[in-house]
């Protein structure tokens, strides 16, 4: 398996990032190549026939909250939402599908002063919600400490 910033290669099969099904909301829904010098850490996950990459890019400030998640599932390449994104959060769904978290800040301050996070688990169609959680940040400056509530 290899990833060159433009495509994921597994065996002899090549899946270009430019043709991936992008499930990320704007402004993160581009399929632009990733320059090697911009990659800080890349983690490979493998479960069954699926391969997933967590790609953390070089950043500062609040950039540690965003991870490019690239998933190869059932011979299709997907780009998932980056806000607190991780391959570890992807779940199996019926009929060989999957669900993934699509996260949105809560509160008037949004990213600059978030009160919490709404976590919607969506199916791979990008529309059907299967679960929703709300996370509350007791300290708005630290979104990595939270209280979870399931809806």
Q: What is the pLDDT of residues 60-117, one digit of tens each?
A: 777 778 899 999 999 999 999 999 999 999 999 988 899 999 999 898 777 767 788 9
CA distance 23 to 80: 5
CA distance 70 to 10: 13
CA distance 38 to 32: 13
Reduce the DSSP state of residue 33 to 3 states and report it.
coil
Tokens, residue 110: 């949004």
CB atoms within 10 A of CB 97: 15
Residue 146 has pLDDT above 80, yes or no: yes
């Amino acid at each position: 398996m290899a990833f060159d910033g433009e495509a994921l290669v597994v065996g002899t099969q090549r899946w270009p990032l430019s043709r991936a099904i992008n499930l990320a909301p704007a402004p993160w829904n581009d399929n632009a190549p990733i320059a090697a010098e911009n990659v800080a850490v890349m983690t490979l996950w493998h479960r069954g026939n699926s391969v997933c990459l967590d790609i953390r890019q070089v950043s500062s400030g609040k950039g540690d909250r965003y991870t490019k998640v690239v998933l190869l599932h059932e011979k299709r390449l997907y780009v998932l939402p980056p806000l607190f994104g991780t391959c570890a959060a992807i779940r199996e769904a019926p009929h060989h599908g999957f669900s993934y978290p699509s996260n949105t800040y809560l509160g008037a301050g949004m990213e600059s002063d978030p009160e919490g996070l709404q976590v919607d688990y969506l199916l791979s169609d990008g529309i059907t919600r299967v679960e929703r959680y709300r996370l509350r940040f007791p300290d708005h400056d630290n979104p990595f400490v939270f209280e979870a509530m399931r809806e």
